Amino acid sequence: MEMTLLLNATYEPLRVVNWQKAIALLWQGKVEVLEVYDREVHAVSISIKLPSVMRLLKLVRLKDVHRAVKFSRINIFTRDAYACQYCRE
């Protein structure tokens, strides 16, 4: 089925979750729905439109490790445009 974009409280994208997780977060009251799909999920007593974009109500702080660029030889070469740091050749 459809996937749902999960945004932080500051409208930064966090991840894409499946529709089951999106419904669970909505049912727990942890998110607000910004956009919905045309499809619906039916239960015995209610029907819920599938959310396409949701925003968390509380801010989630991400670790800086996930945002930092990985320190590796390939990334150093790419940063320096494959030039020597000593002689610039």
Report, as an integer, the average pLDDT of 2-18: 94
45 CB neighbour count, 10 Å cutoff: 5
Whether residue 89 is predicted with pLDDT greater than 80 in this model: the reply is: no
Digit-coded pLDDT (tens) for 25-83: 999 999 999 999 999 999 999 999 999 999 999 998 877 655 667 888 888 888 888 88
What is the three-state SS of 28-78? HCCEEEEEEEEEEEECCCCEEEEEEEEEECCCCCCCHHHHCCCCCHHHHHH
